[in-house]
Amino acid sequence: MRKSLVFLSLFLILSFGLSAYCQNVQRVFTLEDSISTAMMNSQDVLLAKEQLQYSKQSIDEVKGQIYPKIDLNLSASSFDNAVPTVLPASFSSIYLPASTGVNNYYIGRLSLWQYLYAGGRYKTNLRLAEIKYSETQSQYDAMKNNVELEVKKAFYGCLYIKEKIKILEKALERSKAGSNLRLEYAKAKHEYEKAVLKFISTIGLELDTLIDIKGELSAPKDNYELEKCLAWAYQYRPELRQTQFQETMDGLRVNLSLIERFPTITLGANYDRVGNDLTIDQKSWNATINMNLPLFDGWTSSSRIKQGKNQARQGQLRRAQIEDQIRFDVRNAFLDYNFWKNQLEESSKVRANQDVEGSISRLDTLYQTILSQATLEWAIGRTK
């Protein structure tokens, strides 16, 4: 009798705790709300987004190098030189003549410098920056896919335990349940609290936030073909696109090393106003075209070319490794989904076993089917 009272008291306390928790809920999350919140709060996603913006700015930086460099320099010097003097380069290498006393010298200089021919350096650097941006975009997409999968796992985990608690509550209401059933109920309540804590951490909220989960565990009805899944994975998985972009960048770096052997032609022009007072009435100008032809650099360019080719071969090996991993991910998830889907269909045909164990067993099968579908969608790079 005393044991029954103790268990009844425990049941009432747990039920009251759940009721009080629901009354104090601050936010209710659907799956869509959970994913959008995680995307806004995930540190990994935010970091990848900042890297994407950095790569975009790199493109603008390279584009800016195509335009001429124009400088305006104003200098005022006071000097007493026994011999002519040239100021350091940081002061524009201004020439100060010899003087017999203190003199002032003022100069205003407008200068222009522009590559007329660079052997394709600018074009190659711009292409490198654009490919780097595309690679960073793929990294960003991969990070979002990973976060979405983790959110789905946490979300469905909470729904699964909630449904399990409902089954146990109905069993406790229908009959005089034994201590084992009451213990299972208490364990389910504990598991739900831990699942909610994991869910809150996954979507990036404060751990003391009171939340509730809104949704249902629906049996997936989608059918997949292995060959189509593999084809989709090759098309949509961001990780594979990253290796393709990396191979392209490796090839461009090799080309850039080859371009260093080409001559460069530059144009420089200066317009000066100088004088010993602020009127700076003396004018001068010059324009120069210069060609520079590399003849010998100690074989450093040859070494860079070999390094670039070596990096290209490493990229091909990485791509083969990632392709193998993608094939494994797809096949493994495909086998899991079909197994659990078949098990779910078989359990739906059996209506005789409606006890607690049978209900929980079918719930377990449904949960595993939903998780395996989410994993398969992630493996092929197509999320719902």
pLDDT beyond 60 at 352: no
Domain that holds residue 196: 2-71+119-266+297-380
Q: Is residue 325 part of a domain?
A: yes
pTM of the complete model: 0.77
Distances (CA, A) of 169 to 119, 162, 173, 339: 77, 11, 6, 30
Within-domain flag for 315: yes
pLDDT digits (tens, 9 = 90+) for 191-221: 999 999 999 999 999 988 898 999 999 999 8
Domain annotation covers residue 201: yes
> What's the CA gap between 350 and 365, in Å, rounded?
13
Residue with tokens 């007493």: 80
Domain of 239, CATH number, reads 1.20.1600.10
Look at residue 272 and tell me if it is in a domain. no
Which two tokens mark 245?
């972009």
From residue 301, how far is each of 115, 256, 265 by CA, in Å?
A: 21, 10, 19
Could you report the per-residue pLDDT of 91-103, keeping only the tens digit for each? 877 888 888 788 8
Overall domain count for the chain: 1
Q: Which long-range contacts (CB under 8 A, 24 or more apart) does 221-224 make?
A: 222/373, 224/334, 224/337, 224/338, 224/376
What are 175's two structure tokens? 């009959």
Q: Is residue 99 in a domain?
A: no
* CA dihedral of residues 168, 172, 174, 179 (deg, nearest 10): 120
pLDDT in tens, 242-300: 888 888 888 888 888 888 888 999 999 999 888 877 677 888 899 999 999 988 877 78
Does residue 162 lie in a domain region? yes
Q: Could you report the per-residue pLDDT of 109-154, keeping only the tens digit for each? A: 899 999 999 888 899 999 999 999 999 999 999 999 999 999 999 9
Per the domain annotation, does 366 fall within a domain? yes
Residue 85: inside a domain, yes or no? no
